[in-house]
Amino acid sequence: MTKRNDLTPAQKTMRAAYLSRRALLKSAVAAGAVGLAAPLYTRNALSASGELNLLMWSDEFPGDVIPKFEAASGIKVNQTPFSQNEEQINKLQATGGEGFDLCQPTRDRAPQFKELGVLAPFDMNKVKNAGNLIPSMLEGSSSVWTWEDGLYHLPHCWGSEAISWRTDLWKGDPAALSYGSLWTDDVKGHVQGRPHSLLLGIGLWMDAEGKIPSNRMLDAFKDEESFKKIYDQILPLAIERKPWIKQFWDTADNTKSGLLENDVWIGQTWDGPALTLKKEGKPVSYQRQRKARSPGLTAWR
């Protein structure tokens, strides 16, 4: 069995979350406050069971992380995969958050999760390996996920959202690839993406072209007035280019099927599905632009 000191940072964080949760439950029972503490724990997650219940992105744990964690800790990990934030949120809302110990909301969903009220803060005294986290990544969590009673979010992994394409169908030059490549005449009717991501991509493209100075779209998120001012300039082009869209994707599976079966030539997608197809030898490639998807991060409830 691997010694505790040989655990990777991800494994140590998982263990710390598990142990801090067990201590929380024990103290809550002793104080007779279990009912009042309902948002802080899940009904079936006590840890005398020796199990850890993960609500997790489908491909976000490297293949050996969970087996090594189980071997080193003796804790069995139950995995519930999902492929988009909305699916994760639906599962948490359906149970009031119960039944899961750790979940993985992306950084940009902080206001939504705060309103849902299904998470509990980390006990940072138990996260002994926090010093191993990249400071900028930790700041990315703490800057928007710190609420009245603590920090609700720790960085676990990150991914990008950029351009994927069929190497045998898209005839453009990868060296000149940009978000504007989705809207050229030669790809009309063969583009995929998510509506809100495509709008943001158009904004980044127009910013780079000097048509909408927006500090790479960050200005749009200052306040409602700024958002409306910037997006009101994006929407006309998006409406005009609607015929360019072959499909909207919302899962890893239909991202892949779009590229392989639905005549998609190019799109704005996550890295995972496209790179998986590339590794499998399919005629698909992926190239990251300057706009990254919010980190896929771990919060515990």
Report pLDDT for 160: 84
Same fold flag, 4-157 and 161-287:
yes
Report pLDDT for 37: 21
Report pLDDT for 22: 38
Residue 137: its H or E element: helix 135-145
Averaged over 144-171, what is the pLDDT? Answer: 91
Report pLDDT for 251: 84
Report pLDDT for 6: 54
Which of 107 and 10 is assigned the larger pLDDT?
A: 107
pLDDT at position 294 over 50 = no
pLDDT at position 16 over 70 = no
pLDDT tens for residues 160-207?
A: 889 999 999 999 999 999 999 999 999 999 999 999 999 999 999 999
Averaged over 251-263, what is the pLDDT? Answer: 94
Whose CA is closest to 291, among 203, 227, 223? 203
% of the chain surpassing 70 pLDDT: 79
pLDDT tens for residues 211-227?
A: 999 999 989 988 899 99
d(CA 255, CA 193): 8
Whose CA is closest to 56, among 10, 25, 21, 2? 10
pLDDT at position 280 over 60 = yes
Report pLDDT for 28: 30
pLDDT at position 39 over 90 = no
Report pLDDT for 290: 43
User: What is the chain's Cα-based Rg?
Assistant: 21
Averaged over 269-287, what is the pLDDT? Answer: 94
The separation between CA 136 and the C-alpha centre of its own chain, rounded to angstroms, equals: 17
Boundaries of every domain in the chain: 4-157, 161-287
pLDDT tens for residues 43-95?
A: 334 444 689 999 998 777 777 889 999 999 999 999 999 888 889 999 998 98
CATH 1.10.10 fits 4-157, yes or no: no
DSSP line for 169-216 = T--S-GGG--GGGGGSGGGTT-EEE-HHHHHHHHHHHHHHTTSS-STT
pLDDT at position 21 over 50 = no
DSSP line for 239-301 = HHTGGGEEEE--SHHHHHHHHHHS---EEEEEHHHHHHHHHTT-SEEEE--SPPPPPB-BEE-
Whose CA is closest to 89, among 123, 136, 61, 55? 55
Report the CATH architecture of 161-287: 3-Layer(aba) Sandwich (3.40)
Which of 7 and 202 is assigned the larger pLDDT?
A: 202
Averaged over 273-294, what is the pLDDT? Answer: 80
